[in-house]
Amino acid sequence: MSLKTSLCALSLFSINAFAAPLTIEESRIEQATKIMPDVISTFEHVINDFEKKWLKVDNYISAEKLVSHYSDNLWIKAKDQILSSNSFDDRPLYWARLLSSKVLRENSPDFEISKSQKVTLLDILEQGSRGRTELNYTKGAMKKILLTGFDPFLLDKNINQSNPSGVAALLMDGQIIQYNGITAEINTVMIPVRYEDFDKGTIESLLAPYYALNNVDMIVTVSMGRTEFDLERFPGKRRSVTAPDNLNILSGGTKISPVISKLYDRPLPGNEFVEFSLPVKAMQLAKGPYKVIDNNKITTLEKTFKAKNITDLENQTAVSGSGGGYLSNEISYRSIRLRNQLKSDIPTGHIHTPRIQQFEPEIEKKIILQISAMLEHSLITL
């Protein structure tokens, strides 16, 4: 090998020394591009511009500023796009985030960047593009509501799957709702469908400041569920589904042997079941095409039944909460457990939306309108 060839090889190694393998989520981009090219290309120019700037940045401070500004802007652009297009489509943001993380993962900038620095930048991208850095109530409304949605999931089954809860998060962020003269500002966050993020305390780190200060008036977690709207009264502590997360990681639990998740490398503390505090009767008054069910059906190792109250669940081992045994149940359990631990009085609970098949904008529109009506009716109780 000539000296010139050796130097070229060394230079290439230096540039790509910290290029990481793609995640399972990022590896789906190729198939997604074939199936739904219009969705994947929604933010193509924005991502291409980001890549050009990333390759030219020559120090870490500038890199951090670039990624921070870009990720915040991606969240804003996604909200603007879904509003202006009237598409009721959450998928462009999900895939744009993955295309952006792929840029960071596969390419190095014009300086020697460490592996830990790249990890930090990838986290900045995640937080900003999920709305975590834009949680400011600035519109002077009488009430404040925090709402979370989820990414699309089970993508190996349907690569073009949408998630109504993600649509709700994008459309409702920063919106003002009102009922009988009472106004409320809604802020939202998009949650990843990944067990690891939950185990690392992403829900607790998000919600703890609000519960500690009691500085919002309601916290509502939302995910896609069954055939109607279910308000999940008794979330359970354990994971019991065999469905994978978006990284194809399994929960480790089954209906016969449910498992307790982690919180900062320790078993998640708390009772087997907790009870929500949403204003159910008010929310059930919201008009729409779907029933709003106060769902109290749970499964323990002993039996499946409808619990009349939380005392019915004492000395029981949770298999499925009323919200199931997946991450939608778990976000509800974790938020309520944390609320109770911090002795907060913020009404908290989970809304399961009707299920959609892949992407159904007309149905998703109906779902979003009914969620909005449910939140509006709740204002009189807050």
Please indicate, yes or no, whether residues 286 and 175 belong to a single structural domain of this protein.
Answer: yes
**Residue 51 counted as domain residue:** yes
**Residue 287 counted as domain residue:** yes
The percent of residues above 70 in pLDDT, for the chain, comes to: 95
Please indicate, yes or no, whether residues 84 and 148 belong to a single structural domain of this protein.
Answer: no
Please indicate, yes or no, whether residues 118 and 140 belong to a single structural domain of this protein.
Answer: no
- As a whole number, mean pLDDT of residues 75-98 equals 98
End position of a domain, from candidates 108, 132, 156: 132
- For residue 273, report the phi and psi dihedrals to the nearest 5 degrees: -135, 150
pLDDT tens string 151-162 = 999 999 999 999
**Residue 15 counted as domain residue:** yes
- For residue 294, report the phi and psi dihedrals to the nearest 5 degrees: -85, 95
Please indicate, yes or no, whether residues 193 and 67 belong to a single structural domain of this protein.
Answer: no
Residue 46, domain extent: 10-132
Please indicate, yes or no, whether residues 54 and 113 belong to a single structural domain of this protein.
Answer: yes
Please indicate, yes or no, whether residues 320 and 208 belong to a single structural domain of this protein.
Answer: yes
End position of a domain, from candidates 101, 132, 163: 132
pLDDT tens string 205-215 = 999 999 999 99
Please indicate, yes or no, whether residues 218 and 232 belong to a single structural domain of this protein.
Answer: yes
| CATH number of 300's domain | 3.40.630.20
Q: What DSSP line would sit under 143-185, residue for residue? A: EEEEEEEE----TTT-TT---HHHHHHHHHTT-EEEETTEEEE
pLDDT band at 230 (very low <50, low <70, confident <90, very high): very high
**Residue 111 counted as domain residue:** yes
The pLDDT assigned to 19 comes to 58
**Residue 210 counted as domain residue:** yes
Please indicate, yes or no, whether residues 140 and 128 belong to a single structural domain of this protein.
Answer: no
Q: How far from 229 is each of 50, 216, 222, 288, CA to CA, in Å? A: 40, 24, 10, 10
- For residues 204, 78, 171, 296, the Cα torsion angle rounded to the nearest 10 degrees is -40
End position of a domain, from candidates 87, 105, 132: 132
> Which residue has 């500004």 as its token pair?
69
Burial class (CB within 10 angstroms; exposed 0-12, middle 13-18, buried 19+) of 52: exposed
Question: Would you give the end-to-end CA distance of the chain in angstroms?
Answer: 74
The pLDDT assigned to 4 comes to 38
* Summary count for the chain: helices (H), strands (E): 14, 14
Please indicate, yes or no, whether residues 218 and 101 belong to a single structural domain of this protein.
Answer: no
Mean pLDDT across the chain: 95
- For residue 262, report the phi and psi dihedrals to the nearest 5 degrees: -105, 160
Please indicate, yes or no, whether residues 126 and 238 belong to a single structural domain of this protein.
Answer: no
pTM for this one? Answer: 0.94
Domain count, the chain: 2
The percent of residues above 90 in pLDDT, for the chain, comes to: 95
